[in-house]
Amino acid sequence: MNPHSIGFPLPDDAPAAGACIRVQRPEPGLAVVVFDPPHRSFPIFDAPLLRDLDAVLTELEGDAALRGIVFTGRRPTQFLAGADVEAIGTITDPGVVEDVVRSVHALFDRVARLAPRTVAAVGGPVPGGAFEFSMCCDRIVAVDGKSTRIGLPETMLGILPGWGGSHRLPRRVGIPIALDAILTGRLLPAKPALKRGFVDRLAHEQDLVRIASDIAMGRKKCARRSRGAWAWLVDRNPLARTLIRDRALKGVDAKARGKYPAPYAALDLVLSAPTAPQRTWAGREAKAVAELATGPVCKSLVGIFFASEAAKKLGKGPEGVEHPRPQQATVVGAGVMGAGIASALALAGVPVRLADLSSKALAGAVATHRTEVEKRRKKRRLSSHEANAAVDRLDPVAGALGMARSEFAIEAVAEVLEVKRKVLGGLAEQLPAHAILATNTSSLSVGAIAEGLPHPERVVGMHFFNPVKAMPLVEVVRGPQTSDEVVTRTCALALALGKTPVVTRDVPGFLVNRILGPYLDEAVRLFLAGAEVERVDRLMLEFGMPMGPYTLLDEVGFDIAQHAAASLHAGYGDRMAPCPGLEGLAQPHRLGRKTGLGFYKHPAPGDRKGKRAVAEDLASFQTGRGVRSLSDAELVDRLVLAMVGEAARCLEEQVVESEQVLDLASVFGTGFAPFRGGLWSHARKTGYDRIAARMRELQQAPDIAERGAGAQRFEPTGLLS
């Protein structure tokens, strides 16, 4: 096969033909095909591998003595990582994409037609194309280990399973399970994958190829999961499919809101798969993928994917060496944030001492941790043994003694400079010189906190977002004296916790709060001028944000929002002057969801029947009605362009190293619409000149021009002017 005939370009480091796959003959009648491309640390289906697969299949097809074939990776826990996403991201011609899909289908169909019994022996990540290839084999044997994850995540990249997965998976496991897997993009661990029929047998790592070989040669039986009558009662029943579609469509609408075309396309393809003739599979999937892969949503999601992959390298040293997670950690402060951080550490396998002067706070933190562990145990994400170990790894300590063995300490105490200095100073006296001292500050200067501490090069910001267990981003803040090694080790810990790190400069608000501040402040100003809370929240949901600004303010808490706004004002002057309206709203009984009242009235905790409603007294806080005449587009522009203007300043000041990092942080930190590719990607696609012109129009709007302080946020800066 000519590699260019499949549409994927050959990479610059492509090896010679035949170098990507080894065929071993351990015994007569058995071939073990090993994917082992020398130019990839983790094999993927790129042009060289597909080229060599074509040649290997020709060899196997011509061997009449073969009785069994095993396809496996260079190691039991390293099979294949699916398709070449980078190549997909560069293709803009739908015709080329369609040719790629049809060519790979032709290869995979040859695997399915091989006369000998075929077994895929897989382990580690088995996503997308790797799983689609495996389903072409007669049986799939997977490593029974923590690293095994198998599924079809393509909708997370704005496409759908196009190499047979949209048809083979529903035929293998049935429409309901296949729809759940494809629409969520979830990768299943080994045991759930076996239970749902994704794989046919599990094996210990050291036995994987041996057991797969025995199955291929007929020495071991391996029954395939049969759906029996259910295949007719559900998969081929038009009424059942209609009911399934209606229910699934509601779920897709709730999550995608019409902004992500891939789940809608996948839904119809999967529902009709059981009755579609195999000769039509390639054409059906090729047409769907061609349209999706060349569309703007896919390009945006692929961009975020690569930014996320790049962030994973932040935890590696200069030689690419990964830093091990600490053997012992300390968290000081058992409030909401400290408790969340300590729980995350314990769940990630790090023994942690959680220190606080309040026994009540410690008891609450331990109870919350136990609840989270129990949830995971019930969902079988943890075995009983693992759950007990996770509970035992969190050690509550009254006071701050017994920390001398900790390699990593994180303070999560009150957002007061002297308090944080005192806590870190006490830790510095106890901990060894190589231990890292991290502050979870959201607004204070890391450099100021480090002043006067011994070895200030080991002081770093590690800003988690609330709630810790749900928010994927961690800002790693490099202080003026923070060493490169400390930044790398901190990023490595964030990654070990399952978080995505971004490295920022030590400036007020760092990155996320700095770009989010103007957005929320503008929302409060619109409210005071008469904007309807539900209307604005709805508009931002339609724009693609996960929640509207007033809902977000209720979630954050008015007191926290006020504190962050004051910090930004102190750091940046009049441009960040906060609207005084929030002060009037914020009262001890009215701080947002935590008090049950904010812009909305919230049901009491535990009240599942209660519904959120707009607070009845909001009109009494509004001082005008002028903005009610603004169009939907004008309201959205005021909110979004307030963020864009500050993002431009962040890039000019090199708060983060690139536009890609800013996009990643905006999506993972603020929830900015992923289908738009991130905040700066949205600005670039909209056009800098167009945005600058619109910002100047907003700056001259009477109500903005008259406000004085705060109007400067709409003044286009260098990157936009």
Q: Which two tokens stand for residue 378?
A: 């019930």
Q: How many helices (H) and strands (E) does the chain have?
A: 29, 18
Q: Specify whether the backbone of 498 is left (phi greater than 0), alpha (psi in -120 to 50) or beta.
A: left
Catalytic residue chosen out of the listed positions 463, 569, 602, 682: 463
Q: Which residues of 696-713 are buried (b: 16+ CB within 10 A; e: fewer)?
A: eebbebeebeeeeebbbb
Q: Is 167 assigned a catalytic role?
A: no
For residue 312, with 0-12 CB atoms within 10 Å meaning exposed, 13-18 middle and 19 or more buried, which class applies? middle
Q: Which two tokens stand for residue 423?
A: 């806590």
Give the number of C-alpha atoms closer than 13 A to the C-alpha of residue 631, restricted to the C-beta side. Answer: 3
CA distance 714 to 649: 12
Question: Position 152: which residue type?
Answer: L
Is 575 in contact with 712 (CB distance < 8 Å)? Answer: yes
Dihedral angle, C-alpha 293, 298, 300, 302, nearest 10 °: -80
Query: CA 688: distance to chain centroid?
Result: 28
Q: Specify whether the backbone of 309 is left (phi greater than 0), alpha (psi in -120 to 50) or beta.
A: alpha
SS3 394: strand
Q: Where are the alpha helices (DSSP H) in 477-580?
A: 484-496, 512-528, 533-543, 549-556, 558-572
206 Cβ partners below 8 Å, 6+ apart? 76
Is 539 in contact with 636 (CB distance < 8 Å)? Answer: yes
Give the number of C-alpha atoms closer than 13 A to the C-alpha of residue 714, restricted to the C-beta side. Answer: 24
CA distance 202 to 121: 10
Q: Which residues of 226-254 are buried (b: 16+ CB within 10 A; e: fewer)?
A: ebeeebeebbebeebbeebbeebeeebee
6 Cβ partners below 8 Å, 6+ apart? 47, 50, 99, 100, 103, 104
Is 319 in contact with 308 (CB distance < 8 Å)? Answer: no
Is 288 in contact with 269 (CB distance < 8 Å)? Answer: yes
Query: Of 344, 571, 546, nearest to 462 (Cα)?
Result: 344
CA distance 318 to 718: 34
In angstroms, the Cα distances linking 351 to 329, 340, 461 are 6, 14, 21
CA distance 575 to 521: 11
Is 475 in contact with 439 (CB distance < 8 Å)? Answer: no
Helix or strand holding residue 356 (H, E) = strand 352-356
Instruction: List, by residue number, the catalytic residues.
Output: 463
